[in-house]
Amino acid sequence: MKSNGNGLLVYAIVYLAFLYAPIFLLPLFAFNDATIIAFPLRGFTTGWFKAMADDGVLKGAVLNSLIVASSTAVLSTTLAIFAARASTRFDFKGKGAIMGLIMMPLVLPEIVMAMAILVVFLQVFGDILGLFTIILGHTLVCTPFAIAILSAAFQSLDKSLEEAAYDLGENKFSTFRLIILPLVLPGVVSALLISFTISMDEFILANFLGGQTPTLPVYIYSQLRFPKAIPVIMAVATCLVAVSICLLIIAEYFRRRGVAKTGGKDTGGFL
């Protein structure tokens, strides 16, 4: 019994080390005063961060990514609210098939979607590739995730809450605004954050559909060819890790607040 438990502990430690050790290495090299990514460390510098801040193309890429990710988050969450509400509250013909097709991008290889969309865009619309087309592609990918989160939120709503509001004189729309939306708000926030994160680090679609407009992942990938640029990339990655941790904390805060406010049981969040 005892030795068995130890084995599992070792396994858990190895697993976590494999997962997180590389991420801890990022800031190490980002502050290391050397162009080569190797031990031993040389000395402390913030030079790479300065270089990062001075890089105009990089800033452009970050801005592109922010625009794409926020637009995608808002767009896919909005669409997901409609879809999740419809699928949990109403029965309609072909519901299973429609929902199945909407959720398909979850399992469809992205490269397939990227090529298909690219061909259609180029053939039908000419050369319109840019931020807008990336946003469209990302929305396609993010919406199923948002639906998965929001369906759970809508599902856990007691139907009689809506009926009570309606019974008390509200119409369908005001019931949605006053009762349903506030109660699924934690789900909406989660959906926004997840869509934002997925869009932020998505590479394949962004690379195919972006034309000459690089997002951050596309830019980073392009820079990896130049060994000199790698410490700067390490600095960028360090910033990304910091931002991710912040987002995670915000998401968890909203989730807990939602749970506390409605007096539900804390069942552990999506994040």
Partner 1 sequence: MTQRPMIELKDVHKYYGDYHALRGINADIKAGEFFSLLGPSGCGKTTLLRTIAGFEDITSGVVMIDAKHMEGVPANKRPTNMVFQSYAIFPHLTVAQNVGFGLRRDPRSQAEKDKAVAEALEMVGLKGFGARAAHALSGGQRQRVALARALILKPKVLLLDEPLSALDKKLRENMQVELIKLQRQVGITFILVTHDQEEALVMSDRIAVMFEGEIAQLDDPETLYRLPKSRKVADFIGHMNFLPAAIHGEANGEIEVEVLGLGRCHISDKQAPGAVSGGEASIGFRPETLTILYEGQAATDRETTGKVEEVVYYGDMTYYDVKLDGVADPVRISMRNVPGRPVLERGASTRVAWSASALVLFR
Interface contacts to partner 1, rule CB under 8 A: 158, 160-161, 163-171, 179, 182-183, 261-264
Task: Work out how close the CB of 262 gets to partner 1 at its nearest, in angstroms, rounded to a whole number.
Answer: 4
Of 88 and 156, CB closest to partner 1: 156
Q: Are 137 and 205 in contact (CB under 8 A)?
A: yes
* Distance of closest approach, residue 172 Cβ to partner 1, in angstroms: 9
| Token pair 């865009």 in the structure block, residue | 121
If the CB atoms of residues 46 and 171 are measured against partner 1, the closer one turns out to be: 171
Compare residues 65 and 175 and give the one whose CB is closer to partner 1: 175
Q: Please report which residue ranges of the chain form alpha helices under DSSP H.
A: 2-30, 47-54, 56-89, 95-103, 110-120, 131-155, 159-167, 172-175, 181-200, 204-209, 216-223, 230-262
Structure tokens at 205: 């679609």
Pairwise CA distance, residues 30 & 46, whole Å: 8
Question: Which pair of structure tokens corresponds to residue 159?
Answer: 């139907």
Angle at 212 between CA 26 and CA 142, to 5 degrees: 65
For partner 1, which is the closer residue by CB, 165 or 188? 165
Complex with partner 1: residue 175 or 215, whichever CB lies closer: 175
Q: How far is the CB of 189 from partner 1 (least distance, A)?
A: 14
Min dist. Cβ of residue 168 to partner 1 (A): 4
Distances (CA, A) of 248 to 183, 245, 270: 21, 5, 11
CB of 252 to partner 1, least distance (A): 19
Q: Which is nearer to partner 1, 5 or 263 (CB)?
A: 263
Query: Cα-Cα-Cα-Cα dihedral of 258, 259, 261, 264, to 10°?
Result: 140
Q: Least CB distance from residue 265 to partner 1, whole Å?
A: 11
Give 192's strand partners: none
